[in-house]
């Protein structure tokens, strides 16, 4: 038995309880978690914004040590430090093999719909986003683990599994920020802080952070922001003032709200790029007039998982960590136990903090 944070039903409070975890079967890996980040996607799964069979163990941004492997596993062995990959591409579908866009693989979350453990009462449990990282241990498919490169602390490495890959990828892969370009990042959470660091690594400038919470200014500047703008109705006007009157070359939206997406779009210069990373509800609508689409000639793109390929990108991120260009620890604003996850959800709803990290 291992302790875990169980979502008994969509919309219900999490229950910290014990679950029965099986030994790994063929093609599976058992991992003892060192840490798991509390991501806004976990909140979206719990409240029904994103689909998730329940009861389930949430958590998808994690790192730990392999404790056992099933038949046929060759990528890792017991004792290996690993990062969990919540969106493991199949490598065979059209998106993976032909389009070379594995971040859009329709089979990446196949394990989400298959029970993987049982609660103390015998109920079958589903793994949140295929990984179930809000538990002392988990069992995942072999392709859902990545060997941890040398020189990256195991606990902080959990953040590479989602926040950093998403924020870094949004800047480098989706928006393709170039040195000297101006960048505005909307939302200073774990993903936004990663995007700010990525913009700094890319040599962008100025780099403007936008958030509803003024107390996040110090954190944003530590990540690489040269300016901080409290979110308001005048945000686009202020962004244009800070970028020579034209607007930002690139705006990265990390919130997922209609009004924030609209503000990011309006803050982008003519011909600029607006990348939407945040995940919003399907009931919200963002409106643009046909004339402004023609006149501003901006590009608006969605961004799934930072358009990242974890096996390709994690070694690059690890090199940035070793060289001191990427600071994983500064993303963590609170280190908690499993019991602290509900409070971390409340903090996200209130727009407070950066990334809470569950440390086992």
**Does 167-304 carry CATH code 3.40.50.720?**
yes
Q: Is the pLDDT of residue 84 over 70?
A: yes
Q: Nearest to residue 47, comparing CAs of 12, 21, 15?
A: 12
**Does 2-161+327-359 carry CATH code 3.90.180.10?**
yes
pLDDT attached to residue 68: 97
Mean pLDDT of 3-10: 95
pLDDT attached to residue 167: 97
Q: Is the pLDDT of residue 42 over 80?
A: yes
Q: What is the distance between the alpha carbons of residues 266 and 234, in angstroms, rounded to a whole number?
A: 10
Mean pLDDT of 248-272: 96
Mean pLDDT of 134-138: 98
User: Which runs of consecutive H residues, i.e. helices, occur in 184-309?
Assistant: 190-202, 217-223, 235-242, 258-266, 290-296
Q: Which residues make beta-bridge pairs with 334?
A: 356
Confidence of residue 351 (pLDDT cuts 50, 70, 90): confident
Q: Is the pLDDT of residue 136 over 70?
A: yes
Q: Nearest to residue 21, comparing CAs of 36, 33, 34, 37?
A: 33
By three-state DSSP, how is residue 69 classified?
strand
The structure tokens listed for 304 are 């799934």
Mean pLDDT of 94-101: 96
pLDDT attached to residue 50: 86
Q: Is the pLDDT of residue 354 over 80?
A: no
Q: Is the pLDDT of residue 51 over 90?
A: no
pLDDT attached to residue 353: 67
Mean pLDDT of 189-205: 96
Average model confidence (pLDDT) across the chain: 94
pLDDT attached to residue 47: 87
Same fold, 2-161+327-359 and 167-304: no
The domain ranges of the chain are 2-161+327-359, 167-304
- φ and ψ of 150, to 5 deg: -65, 150
Mean pLDDT of 88-106: 95
% of the chain exceeding 90 in pLDDT: 90
Q: What is the distance between the alpha carbons of residues 268 and 272, in angstroms, rounded to a whole number?
A: 6
Q: Is the pLDDT of residue 192 over 80?
A: yes
- φ and ψ of 175, to 5 deg: -80, -20
pLDDT attached to residue 200: 98
Q: What is the distance between the alpha carbons of residues 303 and 166, in angstroms, rounded to a whole number?
A: 8
Mean pLDDT of 67-80: 96
Confidence of residue 212 (pLDDT cuts 50, 70, 90): very high
């Amino acid at each position: 038995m291992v302790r875990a944070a169980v979502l008994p039903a969509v919309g219900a409070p999490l229950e910290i309880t014990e679950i029965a975890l099986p030994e790994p079967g063929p093609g599976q890996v058992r991992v003892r978690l060192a840490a798991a980040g509390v991501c806004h996607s976990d909140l979206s799964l719990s409240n029904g914004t994103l689909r998730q069979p329940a009861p389930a163990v949430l958590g998808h941004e994690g790192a730990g040590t392999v404790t056992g492997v099933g038949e046929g596993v060759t990528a890792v062995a017991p004792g290996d430090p690993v990062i969990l990959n919540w969106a493991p591409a199949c490598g065979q579908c059209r998106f993976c093999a032909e389009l070379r866009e594995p971040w859009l693989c329709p089979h990446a979350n196949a394990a989400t719909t298959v029970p993987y453990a049982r609660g103390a009462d015998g109920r079958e449990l589903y793994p949140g986003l295929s990984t179930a990282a809000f538990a002392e241990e988990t069992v995942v498919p072999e392709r859902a683990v990545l060997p941890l490169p040398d020189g990256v602390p195991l606990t902080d490495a959990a953040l590479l599994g989602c926040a950093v890959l998403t924020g870094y990828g949004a800047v480098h892969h989706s928006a393709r920020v170039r040195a000297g370009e101006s960048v505005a990042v909307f939302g200073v959470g774990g993903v936004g802080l990663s995007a700010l660091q990525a913009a700094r690594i890319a040599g962008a400038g100025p780099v403007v952070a936008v958030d509803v919470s003024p107390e996040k200014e110090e954190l944003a500047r530590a990540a690489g922001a040269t300016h901080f703008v409290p979110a308001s109705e005048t945000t686009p006007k202020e962004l244009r003032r800070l970028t020579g009157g034209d607007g930002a070359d690139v705006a990265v939206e990390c919130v997922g709200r209609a009004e924030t997406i609209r503000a990011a779009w309006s803050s982008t210069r003519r011909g600029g790029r607006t990348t939407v990373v945040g995940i919003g509800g399907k009931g919200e609508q963002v409106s643009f007039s046909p004339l402004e689409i023609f006149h501003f000639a901006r590009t608006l793109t969605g961004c799934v998982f930072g358009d990242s390929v974890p096996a390709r990108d994690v070694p690059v991120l690890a090199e940035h960590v070793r060289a001191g260009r990427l600071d994983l620890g500064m993303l963590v604003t609170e280190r908690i136990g499993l019991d602290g996850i509900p409070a971390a959800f409340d903090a996200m709803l209130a727009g407070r903090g950066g990334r809470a990290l569950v440390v086992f």
